[in-house]
Chain A
């Protein structure tokens, strides 16, 4: 797996560019990843990113859009506004987590 430099730090990523090591992520990296996909992180974005990070710690997998709504408290509609077109994957990418596995 490739190692690339993001925000001045060497990180392991998969072939698509998703971080593969939970602990290599930090907030500067999140900002840099977001910028690469044309997203400027606001408080509303951070709320989701932080939820995803915390949820992954206990669940061992990335929360789906559905879970971000029901457990994280951010409606699906807002997720589409904050992370246009492909919210689940974009949220996971910025949070340094794998793509969600769940279908729903």
Chain B
């Protein structure tokens, strides 16, 4: 009799939780949190994302479609598919951010990875929870009406810490 081998898909009642704080609004820095959140949800991990400071742009309706990527100040930036660097002094040139943003968006789309708003749709569909930072909302004079409809609330840092009791935490 051959032994049966059944994959271990974990216990149905695993209580693993992940809290991700998204504090950056640059296009390149928006993705790590989303990719990890999506991966965690796909592994059955309860996931909560807190958007704060520039990360607030990811859930602000008027800004979420227009996140940008600038190579300025990023010494790791090289031309796609090569090891060649562009001198930093040229990075602030007019149009550079637009070109870099377009290039990055294309590389991401080529991998079938959705744009930020679509990606958040998928994360919410997978059971992820989105929360907005109270101080960022006040600083930007924004209310729930300015945010994606699936943001569950504007809460203080202490509320978020309290609600993520026992969770693993990532700050991005």
Contacts and interface: CB of A to CB of B under 8 A. Distances in A.
Given A75-B125, A76-B122, A76-B125, A102 B112 contact: yes
A69 B5 contact: no
Contact of A86 (B35, B44, B125): B44
Contacts, number: 78
Given A84-B12, A102-B112, A104-B114, A37 B6 contact: yes
A37 B113 contact: no
Interface residues of A, number: 33
Contacts of A44: none
Given A76-B122, A85-B9, A104-B112, A65 B42 contact: yes
Nearest to A103: B35
Interface string A6-45: 0000100101111000000000000000001100000000
Contact of B38 (A80, A90, A104): A104
Interface in A80-95: 80, 84-90, 93
A53 interface: no
Contact of B5 (A4, A66, A67): A4
B7 interface: yes
Contacts of B12: 84-85
Contacts of B44: 84-86
A9 B113 CA distance: 38
B9 A90 contact: yes
Contacts of B6: 17, 36-37
B126 interface: yes
A31 B11 CA distance: 21
Nearest to A65: B42
Interface string B1-35: 01111111110101000000000000000000001
Nearest to A85: B44
B43 interface: yes
Most buried by B among A10, A70, A104: A104
Interface of B: 2-10, 12, 14, 35, 38-39, 42-44, 111-114, 119, 122, 125-127
List the 5 closest pairs (A to B, CB-CB), nearest first: A85-B44, A17-B5, A77-B125, A76-B125, A16-B7
